[in-house]
């Protein structure tokens, strides 16, 4: 090795043998000094030697590749230290000149001191109350000055070794930044995130609103988000990373909740958002009424200008079998949204949004299967949607007002003894294992869904199970050559055009879809002129469209067959005026009186005419966006309004979105 050759400036000895021995002695001493200095500088640069090999900042957690040698992982950190020390000795010995190693050693020391000074300055600048230095003469600006001085001295000593040091430290930073080790640093970067968010929210509160900067900030009434993944994914397709999205949960209990239970639950939900790549916040309130709970959410959710201005709910598919209280509560919820000056969107799917019942049936079908060979649906599907019942998995059950009746009955049959937090109440937050066939997983993993079809066990999945998987991920699968039909029948400020446009942008399941806009003509004699005017309006709004259709006869009476069908549809909810007067206040405004039906006859025919247009034009569409009629308080009964929405949309095969803005202008020519 060159390390054992005498250096150029070897000491002069009288005897040649003594000369050689003395030279080798001095050389070896210099080599070990170079190694010790370089190793000490490296340790200080990487946050001190003790920190590297401590349990809190374990080498396994931060730099696992450092802990691997020749494909074999070392068991003890002492063996790692010995191996790496030998390698560093060999590298430094090959150089054979301490004067070459010294600038590198000095630069690593200076880099360590520069980083330390800047770290304490950054912690002070972040303003975190947890940073309280005990040094009497500490000053944050003096620390910054010290960091700059250290960097300047590094370049004075040797500019190329300074660049090497910066490259080494930068490589460590980039490695940790992209690897994201599971270590809670408590860094000043976290403090800066809070400070920046606080200052940005305060600055936004004092900013004057302009139509160019309008963003739909959506509050979604999801109940338990894991039970309605389609509703969450649809809202996420609108907001993506550019708008505020809130998943609201109204919990119908009056019991004093345990805070640690909810904290674990919220953490589980945010992990579920992350696995499904949904940028959303989760918030909950406790209320015995959906209407009151929504009012609480709209009044208290958000901060400053970061407040919801659009509410998205699912259509109540089971309203025909619901109680009077549930119908009234749902109808008052619609009124509450408009009273709070918010836009309203109601999403209806052919098979509904709440998949908890279907998942429970699949779960029940798996109970007869051997636990040693669970199929892929048990591992993938149930883990995804929180029906994996485990002591380690915290997931909300069907405890919101958007749940089905069967879910409530199934929860009641489970009994109070199965849940330590039940206590005879409805608080069913913790899920426990009830059988050996159910899978225990610490987290819900969404990425298991695509992989289940690659295993042999998936060949035994039933048709219903595969269909359920498709329903869960229907809004995460991009639709090729899709078509969105927009029925913009009334001017609502432009929200009915903006939301479909956002759904065609990148990141949405309808990315690249064609927009077909249907609008109403004010005069039958000028259809072509109004069509050109509407096309010019869309062009000025910079909304891409594939076609514009002007409807000349929206006010035309629908077919007699459709009228008779609708009359049979609402017949169970038709009552005499005298019989309604005999009921209490609870039934007031719910059932349809003869006078109400006559007063709303023209509007009813308009809704039936819209149904005919949907059957005529939108059979090949993948999504229909329809202007939502606004119910007038004290004039329109709840059953008649829900019958309108149900009858118009029940035969539409694709998802249908009822949408109505709050008359606030959301589109402009000048942006």
CATH number of the domain that residue 525 is part of:
3.40.50
User: Which DSSP state fits 586?
Assistant: G
For residue 472, which of 276, 298, 300, 668 has the smallest C-alpha distance? 276
CA dist 418 and 430 (Å) reads 10
Residue 227 has pLDDT above 90, yes or no: no
Cα angle: 420, vertex 425, 430; to 5 degrees: 40
pLDDT digits (tens, 9 = 90+) for 309-346: 999 999 998 898 888 889 999 999 999 999 999 999 99
Give the pTM: 0.74
Sheet with 656-660: list strands edge to edge.
281-286, 245-251, 218-221, 310-314, 343-348, 656-660, 623-627, 483-487, 514-520, 547-551
499 and 407 co-located in one domain: no
Q: How confident is the model at residue 181 (pLDDT cuts 50, 70, 90)?
A: confident
Alpha carbon of 340 to those of 34, 219, 294, 331, 485: distances in Å? 73, 13, 10, 15, 28
Q: Do the beta carbons of residue 101 and residue 37 sit within 8 Å?
A: yes
pLDDT value of residue 247? 94
Residue 220 has pLDDT above 70, yes or no: yes
Cα–Cα distance measured from residue 443 to residue 272, given in angstroms and rounded to the nearest whole number = 8
Same domain, 232 and 369: no
| Average pLDDT of the segment spanning 25-45 | 56
In this model, does residue 660 exceed pLDDT 90? yes
Region of poorest pLDDT, from 50-59, 207-216, 414-423, 629-638 = 414-423
Whole-number pLDDT of residue 13: 42
Model pLDDT, residue 371: 38
CA angle 25, 28, 33 (to 5 degrees): 125
522 and 494 co-located in one domain: yes
As a whole number, mean pLDDT of residues 18-28 equals: 58
**Residue 107: exposure state from Cβ atoms within 10 A (0-12, 13-18, ≥19):** buried
Determine the Cα–Cα distance for residues 475 and 469; give it in Å rounded to an integer. Answer: 12
Contact 84, 42 (CB under 8 A): no
Task: Give the range of the structural domain holding residue 399, as residue numbers without chain letter.
Answer: 356-472
pLDDT in tens, 597-642: 889 999 999 999 999 999 989 889 999 999 999 998 888 999 999 9
Q: State the Cα angle at 298 between 297 and 304, rounded to 5°.
A: 110
For residue 51, pLDDT beyond 70: no
Which two structure tokens, joined as six digits, stand for 657?
Answer: 């979105």
Is the predicted pLDDT of residue 367 greater than 70, yes or no?
no
Q: Which pLDDT value is given to residue 147?
A: 94
Comparing 296-300, 422-426, 657-661, the range with the smallest average pLDDT is 422-426
Q: What is the pLDDT of residue 444?
A: 36
Burial track 350-369 (b if 16+ CB lie within 10 A, e otherwise): eebbbbbbbbbebbeebeee
The model's confidence at residue 81, banded by pLDDT at 50, 70 and 90, is low
The reply to whether 378 falls in a domain is yes
Q: What percent of the chain has pLDDT over 70?
A: 67
Residue-averaged pLDDT of the chain = 75
Task: Give residue 153's pLDDT.
Answer: 93
Angle between helices 356-366 and 463-472 (to 10 degrees): 140
Residue that is last in its domain, among 293, 317, 348: 348
pLDDT at residue number 88: 67
Look at residue 143 in the predicted model and tell me its pLDDT.
Answer: 93
Q: Are residues 596 and 632 in the same domain?
A: yes
Closest CA to 30 of 85, 91, 102, 98: 98
Rounded distance, CA 221 to CA 311, Å? 8
Residue 563, both tokens: 């009228």
Check whether 383 has a pLDDT greater than 80: no
Average pLDDT over residues 410-424: 37
* 422 plus 280 within the same structural domain: no
> How many structural domains are present in the chain?
4
pLDDT at 70: 38
Residues 6+ apart with CB under 8 A from 340: 295, 298, 299
**CA separation for the pair 556, 19 (Å, rounded):** 116
End-to-end CA distance of the chain: 71
Q: Above 50 in pLDDT, residue 378?
A: no
Closest-CA residue to 507 (of 306, 299, 237, 265): 237
Q: Are residues 7 and 146 in the same domain?
A: yes
Choice between 588 and 8, residue whose per-residue pLDDT is larger: 588
Is pLDDT at 10 greater than 60 in this prediction?
no
Specify whether the backbone of 494 is left (phi greater than 0), alpha (psi in -120 to 50) or beta: left
Whether the pLDDT of residue 488 is over 80: the answer is: yes
Write the CB contacts of 225 (distance below 8 Å, at least 6 apart in sequence). Answer: 232, 247, 249, 269, 272, 273, 280, 282
Whether 76 shows a pLDDT value over 70: the answer reads no
**pLDDT surpassing 70 at residue 116:** yes
357/332: higher pLDDT: 332
pLDDT of residue 583: 55
Residue 515 and residue 627 in one domain: yes
Sign of CA dihedral 154, 155, 156, 160: positive
Rg of the chain over all Cα atoms, to the nearest angstrom: 34
Spatial distance between the Cα atoms of 147 and 116, rounded to a whole number of angstroms = 8
* Maximum mean pLDDT: which of 250-259, 532-541, 574-583, 599-608: 599-608
Tokens in use for 438?
Answer: 């159910």
Q: Residues 442, 393: contact at Cβ < 8 Å?
A: yes
Q: How far apart are CA 666 and CA 343, in angstroms?
A: 11
Distance CA 413, CA 395 (A): 18
Q: How far is residue 296's CA from residue 290's CA, in Å, rounded to a whole number?
A: 10
* 188 belongs to a structural domain: no
**Per-residue b or e along 6-44, where b marks 16 or more CB atoms closer than 10 Å to that residue's CB:** eeeebeeeeeeeeeeebbeeebeebbeebbebbbbbbbb
| pLDDT for 97 | 66
The per-residue pLDDT for 66 is 52
Residue 144 has pLDDT above 90, yes or no: yes
* Contact indicator for 274, 445 with CB cutoff of 8 Å: no
Q: Distance (Å, rounded) from C-alpha 496 to C-alpha 666?
A: 10
* Rounded Cα–Cα distance for residues 662 and 367 (Å): 49
Q: Is the pLDDT of residue 221 over 90?
A: yes
Q: Is the pLDDT score of 380 beyond 60?
A: no
Do 498 and 468 sit in the same domain of this protein? Answer: no
Is residue 79, in this structure, part of any structural domain at all? yes
Residue 450: inside a domain: yes
* Closest by Cα among 280, 230, 239 to 498: 239
313 and 383 inside one domain: no
CA–CA separation, 15 and 20 (whole Å):
9
CA distance 561 to 559: 5
Whether the pLDDT of residue 457 is over 60: the answer is no
Which among 354, 394, 383, 511 is positioned nearest to 447, based on CA atoms? 383
| Last residue of one domain, picked from the residues 150, 179, 208 | 179
Which pLDDT belongs to residue 454? 36
Residue 502 has pLDDT above 90, yes or no: yes
Q: What is the pLDDT of residue 177?
A: 81
Q: Are 188 and 123 in contact (CB under 8 A)?
A: yes
423 domain residue, yes or no? yes
Say whether both 343 and 394 belong to one domain: no
> Does 373 have pLDDT greater than 90?
no
For residue 150, pLDDT over 70 is answered with: yes
Query: What is the CB-side half-sphere exposure of residue 73 using CA atoms within 13 A?
Result: 6
Query: pLDDT tens across 634-644, in order?
Result: 889 999 999 99
Q: Are residues 460 and 500 in the same domain?
A: no
Residues 287 and 411 in one domain: no
pLDDT above 70 (res 65): no
Please provide the DSSP assignment of 608-646 as one string: HHHHHHHHHH-TT-SEEEEEPPPPPTTTS-HHHHHHHHH
- Please state, in angstroms and rounded to a whole number, the distance separating the CA atoms of residues 107 and 376: 56
pLDDT band at 294 (very low <50, low <70, confident <90, very high): very high
C-alpha distance from residue 165 to each of 41, 45, 143 (Å): 11, 9, 21
Helix (H, G, I), strand (E, B) or coil at 401: coil
Q: What is the pLDDT of residue 419?
A: 38
**Distance between CA atoms of residues 402 and 314, nearest Å:** 8
Question: How buried is 396 (Cβ within 10 angstroms: 0-12 exposed, 13-18 middle, 19+ buried)?
Answer: buried
Q: Is residue 194 part of a domain?
A: no
Higher pLDDT, 97 or 651: 651
Give the mean pLDDT of 52-70: 48
**Does residue 438 form part of some domain?**
yes
SS3 string of 519-562?
EECCCHHHHHHHHHHHHHHHHHCCCCCCEEEEECCCCCCCCHHH
Model confidence at 576, in pLDDT bands (50, 70, 90)? Answer: confident
Which of 309, 324, 348 is the endpoint of a domain?
348
Predicted local confidence at residue 580, as pLDDT: 54
Calculate what percentage of the chain has a pLDDT beyond 90: 29
Residues 6+ apart with CB under 8 A from 395: 224, 226, 265, 268, 386, 387, 388, 431, 444
CA–CA dist 280, 245 (Å, integer): 5
Please give the average per-residue pLDDT across 66-79, as a whole number. Answer: 47
> Quick check: is 477 in a domain?
no
């Amino acid at each position: 090795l060159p390390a054992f050759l005498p250096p150029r400036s070897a000491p002069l000895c009288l005897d040649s043998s003594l000369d050689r021995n003395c030279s080798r002695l001095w050389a070896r001493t210099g080599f070990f000094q170079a190694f010790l200095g370089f190793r000490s500088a490296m340790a200080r640069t990487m946050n001190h030697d003790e920190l590297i090999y401590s349990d809190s900042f374990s080498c396994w957690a931060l730099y696992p590749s450092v802990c691997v040698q020749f494909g074999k992982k070392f068991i003890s950190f002492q063996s790692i230290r010995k191996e790496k020390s030998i390698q560093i000795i060999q590298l430094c010995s090959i150089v054979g000149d301490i004067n070459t190693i010294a600038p590198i050693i000095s630069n690593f020391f200076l880099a360590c001191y520069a980083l330390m000074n800047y770290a304490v300055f950054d912690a002070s600048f972040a303003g975190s109350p947890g940073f309280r230095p005990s040094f009497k003469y500490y000053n944050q600006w003096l620390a910054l000055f010290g960091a700059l001085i250290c960097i300047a001295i590094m370049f004075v000593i040797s500019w190329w070794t300074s660049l090497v040091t910066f490259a080494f430290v930068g490589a460590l930073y980039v490695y940790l930044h992209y690897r994201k080790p599971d270590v809670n640093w408590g860094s000043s970067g976290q403090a800066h995130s809070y400070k920046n968010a606080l200052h940005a929210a305060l600055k936004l509160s004092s900013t004057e609103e302009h139509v160019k900067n309008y963003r739909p900030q959506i509050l979604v009434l999801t109940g338990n988000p894991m039970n309605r993944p389609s509703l969450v994914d649809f809202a996420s397709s609108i907001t993506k990373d550019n708008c505020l999205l809130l998943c609201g949960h109204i919990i119908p209990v009056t019991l004093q909740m345990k805070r640690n239970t909810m904290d674990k639950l919220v953490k589980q939900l945010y992990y579920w958002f992350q696995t499904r790549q949904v940028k959303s916040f989760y918030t909950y309130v406790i209320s015995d009424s959906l209407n009151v709970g929504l009012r609480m959410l709209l009044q208290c959710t958000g901060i400053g200008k970061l407040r919801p201005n659009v509410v998205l709910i699912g259509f109540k598919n089971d309203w025909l079998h619901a109680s009077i209280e549930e119908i009234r509560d749902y109808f008052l919820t619609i009124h509450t949204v408009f009273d709070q000056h918010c836009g309203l969107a109601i999403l209806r799917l052919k098979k509904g949004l709440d998949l908890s019942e279907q998942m429970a049936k699949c779960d029940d079908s798996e109970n007869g299967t051997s636990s040693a060979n669970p199929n892929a649906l048990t591992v993938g599907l149930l883990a995804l949607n929180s029906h994996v019942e485990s002591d380690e998995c915290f997931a909300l059950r069907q405890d919101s007002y958007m749940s089905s009746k069967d879910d409530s009955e199934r929860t009641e049959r489970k009994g109070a003894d199965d849940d330590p937090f039940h206590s005879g109440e409805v608080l069913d937050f913790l899920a426990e294992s009830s059988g050996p066939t159910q899978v225990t997983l610490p987290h819900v993993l969404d990425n298991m869904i695509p992989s289940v079809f690659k295993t042999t066990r998936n060949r035994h999945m039933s048709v219903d199970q595969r269909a359920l998987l498709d329903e869960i991920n229907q809004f995460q699968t991009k639709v090729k050559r899709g078509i969105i039909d927009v029925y913009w029948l009334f001017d609502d400020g432009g929200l009915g055009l903006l939301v479909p446009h956002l759904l065609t942008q990148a990141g949405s399941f309808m990315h690249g879809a064609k927009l077909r806009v249907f609008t109403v003509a004010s005069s039958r004699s000028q259809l072509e002129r109004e069509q050109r005017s509407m096309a010019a309006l869309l062009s000025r709004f910079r909304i891409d469209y594939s076609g514009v259709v002007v409807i000349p006869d929206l006010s035309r009476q629908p077919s007699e067959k459709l009228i008779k069908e609708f009359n049979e549809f609402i017949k169970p909810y038709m009552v005499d005026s005298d019989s309604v007067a005999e009921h209490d206040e609870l039934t007031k405004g719910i059932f349809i009186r003869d006078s109400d039906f006559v007063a709303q006859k023209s509007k009813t025919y308009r809704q039936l005419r819209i149904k005919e247009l949907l059957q005529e034009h939108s059979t090949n569409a993948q999504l229909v966006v329809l202007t939502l009629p606004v119910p007038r308080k004290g004039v329109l009964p709840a059953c008649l309004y829900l019958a309108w929405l149900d009858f118009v949309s029940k035969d539409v095969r694709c998802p249908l979105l009822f949408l109505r803005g709050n008359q606030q202008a959301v589109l402009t020519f000048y942006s």
